[in-house]
């Protein structure tokens, strides 16, 4: 039950982030839109950073789902290492 709730929250956050990212791209390349302040990105790098933060959040949620299942401790350790390396590469 808890894993199912986490999956639904993850899907909702991912969909919201992709919607905001697509609106920002539309605002960058097609025409200027009247957006709320939290949806504004002043350049493409700021937009990329915010999308990278969402990707890290999705990876962490998938790790928590894997950890809750708790089947293989070695697989969980390798999954945690891969999430850490992926997060570090996106935040540089």
The C-alpha atoms of residue 71 and residue 36 are separated, in whole angstroms, by 44
Domain boundaries, given as residue ranges, for the chain: 2-90
Q: Which stretches of the chain score pLDDT less than 50? A: none
Read off the pTM.
0.69
CA 17, chain centre distance (Å):
7
In this structure, the number of other CB atoms found within 10 A of the CB of residue 29 comes to 8
Give percent of the chain above pLDDT 70.
91
**Contact in structure between 13 and 54 (CB atoms under 8 Å):** yes
Q: Summarize pLDDT for 46-72 with one digit per residue, the tens.
A: 777 878 888 888 888 888 888 887 788
């Amino acid at each position: 039950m808890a894993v199912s709730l986490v999956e639904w929250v993850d899907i909702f956050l991912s969909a919201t982030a992709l919607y905001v990212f697509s609106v920002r791209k539309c605002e960058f390349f097609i025409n200027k839109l009247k957006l709320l302040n939290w949806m504004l990105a002043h350049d493409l790098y700021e937009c990329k950073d915010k999308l990278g933060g969402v990707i890290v959040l999705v990876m962490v949620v998938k790790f928590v789902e894997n950890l809750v299942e708790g089947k293989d401790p070695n697989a969980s350790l390798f999954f945690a290492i891969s999430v850490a390396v992926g997060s570090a590469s996106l935040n540089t």
